[in-house]
Amino acid sequence: MTRRARYQVEQRIRIDHQAPWLYAASVLLLAACSGIPQRAKEEQLQQQYLQYAGAPVDRFTYLGRFDSWSALSGTQLVVWTTLNDAYLLTVRAPCINLQFTQRIGLTSTAGTVDSGLDSVLVDRDRCQITEIRPVDYKKMRAELRKDKP
């Protein structure tokens, strides 16, 4: 093997060994940068729901199922019991994985979910509900439609 060929092989080996580190560093850098707009978007969505949330209530009727839900933060989520009936729930911290779980459950007593008594079920954890606020979701959607160009 010539000196030049051996040098090229050594360079290729060095580059091959460096490539995973460079790739990993690039991925981490992109992930860190992409989280900034996502966090801002989540905070904006949370403020939007807070703007349309009414005064805290003690309970809401729950007939064993909900139409949808969305986590707003590590301690807040919105639950839709019907297409237009939404409730902003605040749970006691820490509620691990609330923002990342695919499914939740709600405890209830006699067809109602009570603040301070019932919980949001996240994986194997029970996150106690500390506040319930009805959201005027119809008004929120109407105003958002109106604001779109």
44 found inside a domain: no
pTM recorded for the entire structure? 0.71
In a domain, 3, yes or no: no
**Mean pLDDT throughout 1-24?**
51
Q: Is residue 132 part of a domain?
A: yes
Q: Which domain holds residue 123?
A: 53-147
pLDDT band of residue 27 (cuts 50, 70, 90) is very low
Is 86 a member of any domain?
yes
Measure the CA dihedral 121/123/126/131, to 10°. -50
In a domain, 43, yes or no: no
The CA distance from 71 to 77, in Å, is: 4
Distance of alpha carbon 74 from alpha carbon 78, whole angstroms: 12
Into how many domains does the chain fold? 1
Task: Compute the mean pLDDT over every residue in the chain, rounded to the nearest whole number.
Answer: 81
**Model pLDDT for residues 74-110, shown as the tens digit of each residue:** 999 999 998 889 999 999 999 999 999 999 999 998 9
Cα 37–Cα 139–Cα 80 angle in degrees, nearest 5: 70
pLDDT band for 46, please (50, 70, 90 cuts).
Answer: confident
Q: Is residue 8 part of a domain?
A: no
pLDDT for 53-76, tens place per residue? 999 999 999 887 888 999 999 999
Q: Is-contact 112 60, C-beta < 8 A?
A: yes
In a domain? residue 84: yes
133 inside domain: yes
